């Protein structure tokens, strides 16, 4: 890290330190080669205002923050757990490779992202590997009324992670080079909406995939104000929600 950049980050941290939560890593559970379940504890987490679907930003080293979806926040115990997906050799992957129980960690949040707190009826979620955490939160909230649609690099590899996470009943398609899998998934989502008109729809994961699915739904007569969108990553960009 260059000296000017390092100074800027230290200054920024000093300004926003009041909003940071000091935690310790209390549990590390590797579900598969690419998915790790992390639990952290901190006294300030007992005062958190987390709602299901919210996010937390974690310092993964050198004041570099990455965003994760808490699967559960136990305010009584001051505990928070989230799922990490190692999909490239970036700062978060390096942080995970060296992380140990007992390590200290600073987080920003939990705070608002998606909000499932008032959900009672059916809900559709589109996403990918980065959406497994939010899918677990949704299924915890509405159970069998959750309808999950995933585009994946490998169905077989990711099926194991979903099973260990306790996520069930999902529709999975592997990514195709021509993107035709998205058209197929989008049509299946349209068909499901036609069966359950009042269902809520959440589009998450890769920005370009969300755009394609959103356009397909719009062209199929689904009002865009019915859709809630959260892009977790985009090609060539870092630090998304």
Q: Phi/psi class of residue 122: alpha, beta or left (left: φ > 0; alpha: ψ in -120 to 50)?
A: beta
Convert the pLDDT of each residue in 120-178 to its tens digit.
Answer: 999 999 999 999 999 999 999 999 999 999 999 999 989 999 999 999 999 999 999 99
Convert the pLDDT of each residue in 86-136 to its tens digit.
Answer: 877 788 888 999 999 999 999 998 989 999 999 999 999 999 999 999 999
The per-residue b/e assignment along 39-65, b for 16 or more CB within 10 angstroms, e otherwise, is: bbbbeebeebebbbbbbbbbbbeeebb
- Bridge-based pairing of strands 171-174 and 79-85 is unpaired
pLDDT: is 54 or 91 the higher one?
Answer: 54
Two tokens, residue 131: 């959406």
What per-residue confidence (pLDDT) applies to 134? Answer: 98
Cα–Cα dist 29/8, whole Å:
34
Tell me if 119 sits within 8 A of 142, measured CB to CB.
yes
Q: How many CA atoms lie within 13 A of 142 on its CB side?
A: 22
- Bridge-based pairing of strands 104-111 and 20-30 is antiparallel
Q: Across the strands, what pairs with 70?
A: 82
What confidence category does residue 240 fall into, taking pLDDT thresholds of 50, 70 and 90?
low
Q: Please return the burial class of 98, using the count of CB atoms within 10 Å of its CB with bins 0-12, 13-18 and 19+.
A: exposed
Cα–Cα dist 25/31, whole Å:
17
Domains of the chain: 6-111 (2.40.30.10), 123-233 (3.40.50)
Tell me if 129 sits within 8 A of 153, measured CB to CB.
yes
- Bridge-based pairing of strands 171-174 and 200-206 is unpaired
How would you list the strands of the sheet with 70-74, edge to edge?
65-68, 55-59, 104-111, 20-30, 35-41, 79-85, 70-74
């Amino acid at each position: 890290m260059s000296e000017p950049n390092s100074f800027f980050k230290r200054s920024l941290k000093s300004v926003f330190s009041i909003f940071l939560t000091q935690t310790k890593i209390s549990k590390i559970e590797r579900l598969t080669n690419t998915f790790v379940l992390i639990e952290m504890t901190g006294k300030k987490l007992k005062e958190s205002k987390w709602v299901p679907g919210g996010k937390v930003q974690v310092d993964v080293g050198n004041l570099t923050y990455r965003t994760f979806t808490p699967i559960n926040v136990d305010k009584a115990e001051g505990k928070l757990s989230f799922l990490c997906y190692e999909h490239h050799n970036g700062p978060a992957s390096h942080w995970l490779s060296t992380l140990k129980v007992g390590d200290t960690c600073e987080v920003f949040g939990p705070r608002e992202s998606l909000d499932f707190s008032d959900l009672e009826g059916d809900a559709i979620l589109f996403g990918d590997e980065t959406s497994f955490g939010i899918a677990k939160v949704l299924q915890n909230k509405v159970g069998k009324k959750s309808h999950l649609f995933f585009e994946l690099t490998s169905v077989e590899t990711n099926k194991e992670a979903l099973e260990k996470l306790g996520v069930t009943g999902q529709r999975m398609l592997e990514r195709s080079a021509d993107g035709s899998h998205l058209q197929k998934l989008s049509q299946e989502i349209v068909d499901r909406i036609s069966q359950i008109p009042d269902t809520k729809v959440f589009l998450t994961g890769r920005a370009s995939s969300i755009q394609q699915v959103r356009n397909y739904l719009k062209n199929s007569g689904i009002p865009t104000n019915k859709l809630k969108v959260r892009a977790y990553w985009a090609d060539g960009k870092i630090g998304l929600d």
